[in-house]
Structure 1
Amino acid sequence: MMVLDAEFFLREVANHYDQELPFVLYKYPNETKVSGLLQSSKTLHKLDHMEQQGFIMVPFVTKDKAVIIPKDISKEIQCELSAVSNGYSVKELLLEYPEKQRHLHLVNKGVQAIESGEFQKVVLSREQHIPLPDLDCIALYKNLVLRYPDAFCYLWYHPKVGLWMGASPETLIEVKDQKIHTMALAATVADQGQAKVVWGEKEKQEQAMVTVAILEALKDYCSAVEVSEVQTVKAAKLYHLRTKITARLTGDLGGLIEQLHPTPAVCGLPKLPALNFIQANESYKRSYYTGYLGTINMDQQAKLYVNLRCMQYLENELILYVGGGITIDSIAEKEWEETVNKGKTILNAVTGTL
């Protein structure tokens, strides 16, 4: 690992990007270093198994598009987060919401499906297209890592796939020395300066569903499972309910991940009918949104995160991805507001807003 000062680190990345060579920048939650892998060729490497080593990107459903930036053909670089300065901000963004009525209708349709017994919960999402002729992705990434120290912040680029960036609050799984850490993260309330967050029954039930489903997924692959109390945690300008879960891995990591992903926090419960509803009714393909990403077999461990609070940059457009968990108590207008609040994680970094 080559440790560089921040200015040289970012210049190396910019030169790599100018040559249209694949790379990823990433910062683990609450860590003080930003790391990078700069791939030496434009080859697109598929992820075939969890014994590979590098940084992986796995889509929501289609495993054939799972890719890796391999460590062994990449230059590893690192810099101190404290040396990173604010990046350039866009003065104004054209924010329009032509998809609002479609999303309200989708949420109501989801509630009706729950009422008719198809499933208990479904996570419904939308994409938002925002015109942006020029994007300084490195400047935006600087803003992300400085604003969201508690999140997993990444910038990923491959000329054959595109550019993705995000600040995820949710760990899918961390593994080191056969000990695993995961979490059940669900329910959302906006930070409005309240002294205390009051959670409704809808949010409590949503979070409990996620916890039970994750514990069910672990049972054939883990022993010594420990579950924390439910905690209120803050991510950017939002509060969530979180349960931390630890265990000892006794089975195959790849098999465990197959059981975990997609979790009820990004898909629904039961998984298969919720997934079928999503694919039949959402008006777009999620691609890497609500998939998972992170490092495998780097420093003898895996650190994987759910791809939330993310965006894609494509053909002079910023494409924002946001969603929320729908239960029988969901109100469409409130669910819409939740997606708008979640989108601000990326948008505030673009505009330089705190």
Structure 2
Amino acid sequence: MIPQHQTALASAEGLLNRYHSGNCFFLSSPQGTLLTEGELAVVTGEEQQFQASLVSQKVKIIWEELKRSGYDNPMIVGAVPFAPGKPARLIVPEKVFWEDRTQMDADAGSGDQQSPGTVLKLEEEPSPADYMDGVERALGKIRAGELSKVVLSRTLRLTAAADVDPAQLLRQLAANRSGSYTFAVDLPHATLIGASPELLVSRRGKMMITNPLAGSAARSADPVEDQRRAASLLTSGKDLHEHAVVVEGIVEALRPFCRTLEAPERPSLIQTPTMWHLSSEIKGELLDPAITSLDLAAALHPTPAVCGAPTEAAREAIEEIEPFDRGFYTGMVGWCDSRGDGEWIVTIRCAEVSGRDLRLFAGAGIVEGSEAAAELQETSAKFRTMLHAMGLDN
């Protein structure tokens, strides 16, 4: 149920080709493909630090003003960072384009491979050795009973010989079928772009769905080995425990909002071109039709899938161990309309692009039984989504 002030274009490819950085928001999901242009209003000031109640108040005031000006069902789009107190990027767009179909042609983006050419500089933060040291520190906290899970991430900073075009990179991610949710968001000094496999929450009328992913294995080019890895993931005690921690946390966060809530007893498998993931689709019926997708997303963010459990203890461990600010990585990106419908995606498999500079992100969930070398390898596999779209080997 996209806002009615929409404009139809010929296809999802038409929206993809229309996208350009600097004035657009783009999100392609199984529900459809959304492109917005321009800004009618920007959520600014204190509300922009994503205090959910203040954001909702500010947005509702803006929406009411727009409705009096003839907009039937205005929306908000944008991105929220991982850490509380950091500025979000949330706007009310001027134009909204929507296409129900999401399937791109098989040759979408072909011949248009985004490559930065010569990479003049590549920095890993933290270094592989330091990342594994961080995993060991996290395992110490888990053994001490401070945590049951914490997600530790690292970045790749690339400086290319030529500017990277976000529009080309977005087209390549879509062509590669890199994830269920392909997105691009304008930030003040960069473009946030990615292909996430993970739905934070979707709300349609009184029904909501969330689809957490936790527990992962890298894909193999050998079909036999690839299937072995998938089967092993489904029976891995360590990964099933990690997934159960996430599902339990999400159900607990959603229970106050839902009349009914259904979660599968065991996870299933989903795949991307680079990874296998354990997946659980959790569905609920809302208690109150006034509860918006933004309300639900704020209650869930950040889930144990990208932070850990308990949440505050995991956040403290991340601040202590990770040597960088995540920014919008492991935040959320999406939309909400004035009826409360909307869709918010977990911001993973992504990069920040600014001219010749790119910053890529990847993380892994640390639980009892995790091994530092294996977690490092998992982050390396997750980097491949963006590296492949840029025409670079990992």
TM-score above 0.5: yes
Please say if 1:144 is aligned against 2:173. Answer: yes
State the shift of 1:9 in Å.
Answer: 5.2
Specify the code of the residue in structure 1 equivalent to 2:227.
Answer: A
| Residues 1:162 and 1:177: Cα distance change in structure 2 (over 3 Å) | same
Please say if 1:85 is aligned against 2:89. Answer: no
Write the distance in 2 (CA, Å) between the matches of 1:204 and 1:6: 36
Residue 155 (structure 1) aligns with = 184
Unaligned runs of 5+ in 2: 1-6, 49-54, 64-74
State the shift of 1:130 in Å.
Answer: 1.2
Write the distance in 2 (CA, Å) between the matches of 1:272 and 1:25: 32
Please say if 1:317 is aligned against 2:317. Answer: no
1:114 to 135, 142, 147: 142
SS of the aligned residue for 2:277 comes to: strand
1:76 to 80, 85, 97: 97
Write the distance in 1 (CA, Å) between the matches of 2:256 and 2:284: 12
1:245 to 282, 292, 297: 282
Q: Size of the alignment, in residue pairs?
A: 344
SS of the aligned residue for 1:186 comes to: strand
Moved more, 76-85 or 226-235: 76-85
Matches within 5 A, 1:215-226: 215-226=251-262
Residue 349 (structure 1) aligns with = 389
Spell out, residue by residue over 1:265-301, the C-alpha distance to the aligned partner (whole angstroms, 9 max, x if none): 0000111111111112211111110001111117862
Please say if 1:334 is aligned against 2:359. Answer: no
Residue 38 (structure 1) aligns with = 37
State the shift of 1:24 in Å.
Answer: 1.3
Residue 195 (structure 1) aligns with = 227
Residue 230 (structure 1) aligns with = 267
Cα RMSD, aligned residues only: 2.7
Whether the aligned pair in 2 keeps the contact of 1:268 and 1:274 (CA below 8 Å) is yes
Matches within 5 A, 1:166-185: 166-185=194-213
Write the distance in 2 (CA, Å) between the matches of 1:148 and 1:221: 34
Write the distance in 1 (CA, Å) between the matches of 2:249 and 2:12: 42
Write the distance in 2 (CA, Å) between the matches of 1:161 and 1:185: 30
Moved more, 77-86 or 271-280: 77-86
State the shift of 1:22 in Å.
Answer: 2.5
State the shift of 1:314 in Å.
Answer: 3.0
State the shift of 1:11 in Å.
Answer: 6.5
Write the distance in 2 (CA, Å) between the matches of 1:324 and 1:260: 19
Spell out, residue by residue over 1:2-35, the C-alpha distance to the aligned partner (whole angstroms, 9 max, x if none): 4157887566544xx4xxx431122113x6x643
SS of the aligned residue for 2:281 comes to: strand
Write the distance in 2 (CA, Å) between the matches of 1:149 and 1:127: 19
Return the TM-score normalized by structure 2.
0.79
Whether the aligned pair in 1 keeps the contact of 2:81 and 2:331 (CA below 8 Å) is yes
Write the distance in 2 (CA, Å) between the matches of 1:304 and 1:244: 15
SS of the aligned residue for 2:34 comes to: strand
Return the TM-score normalized by structure 1.
0.88
Residue 22 (structure 1) aligns with = 23
Higher normalized strand content (fraction of residues): 1
Specify the code of the residue in structure 2 equivalent to 1:232.
Answer: L
Unaligned runs of 5+ in 1: none
Whether the aligned pair in 2 keeps the contact of 1:324 and 1:338 (CA below 8 Å) is yes
Whether the aligned pair in 2 keeps the contact of 1:40 and 1:75 (CA below 8 Å) is no
Write the distance in 1 (CA, Å) between the matches of 2:271 and 2:278: 9
1:302 to 325, 329, 342: 342
Whether the aligned pair in 2 keeps the contact of 1:37 and 1:69 (CA below 8 Å) is no
| Residues 1:334 and 1:77: Cα distance change in structure 2 (over 3 Å) | same
State the shift of 1:236 in Å.
Answer: 2.4
